[in-house]
């Protein structure tokens, strides 16, 4: 009985209405329409900024790296662009689903569970906000007002909350799998 109450409380905490007003939803959608025609470029700006600010995070993106002749590893622009496109399309799906927080929460939790397998930790999600904000500033220019920034910050906090929950669940599943596989004879 107590479990269902805490589960319901957790679900209520993750409702989009607890993060954004209707006016903020409108601002997010309006600003998204202004950048959705150029998601590849916006995503590349975001990831390049992210890696400038969080260089230690590069180690989590090994599949996007290429080896140079000198033996150094650099980001393969095509792979990075492909990943940026996936992230930006997911962000677009989130914007499209702002009226259905139950589905959106489920999608984000599932995405978080998948990221746990790549050693992403919940606290790392916060590192993305400055890069997302900066990419929006570049792409929207004067349209990126303080109100728009705050609205996007609220969307980000909602996304972060659900992704972090999914990462926790994914970590637990990984630990259980490891325990199941470490049977001693």
pLDDT at site 6: 47
Give me the residue spans of the domains in the chain. 23-172
Cα distance between residue 67 and residue 47, in whole Å: 19
Q: Model confidence over 1-11: pLDDT tens digits?
A: 444 444 554 45
Return the CATH fold of 23-172: Globin-like (1.10.490)
Task: Return the DSSP state at 71.
Answer: S
pLDDT of 64-117, one tens digit each?
888 777 777 788 899 999 999 999 999 999 999 999 888 999 999 999 999 999
Q: Cα(88)–Cα(163) distance, rounded to whole angstroms? A: 15
How much is the pTM?
0.84
Q: Do the beta carbons of residue 75 and residue 66 sit within 8 Å?
A: yes
Burial class of residue 180, CB neighbours in 10 A (0-12, 13-18, 19+): exposed
- Phi, psi of 182, rounded to the nearest 5 degrees: -105, 40
How far is the C-alpha of 44 from the C-alpha of 51, rounded, in Å?
11
Name the burial class of residue 169, with classes exposed (0-12), middle (13-18) and buried (19+) by CB atoms within 10 angstroms of its CB. middle
């Amino acid at each position: 009985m107590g479990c269902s109450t805490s589960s319901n409380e957790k679900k209520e905490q993750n409702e989009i209405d607890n993060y954004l007003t209707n006016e903020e939803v409108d601002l997010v959608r309006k600003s998204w329409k202004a950048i959705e025609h150029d998601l590849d470029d916006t995503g590349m700006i975001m990831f390049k900024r992210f890696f400038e600010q969080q260089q230690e995070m590069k180690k989590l993106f090994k599949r996007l790296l290429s080896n140079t002749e000198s033996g150094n590893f650099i980001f393969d622009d095509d792979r990075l662009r492909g990943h940026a496109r996936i992230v930006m399309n997911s962000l677009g799906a989130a914007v499209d689903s702002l009226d259905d927080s139950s589905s959106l929460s489920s999608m984000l939790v599932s995405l978080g569970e998948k990221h746990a397998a790549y050693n992403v930790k919940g606290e790392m999600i916060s590192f993305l906000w400055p890069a997302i904000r900066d990419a929006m500033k570049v792409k929207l220019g004067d349209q990126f007002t303080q109100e728009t920034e705050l609205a996007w910050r609220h969307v980000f906090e909602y996304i972060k909350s659900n992704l972090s929950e999914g990462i926790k669940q994914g970590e637990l599943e990984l630990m259980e799998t490891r325990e199941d596989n470490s049977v001693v004879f």
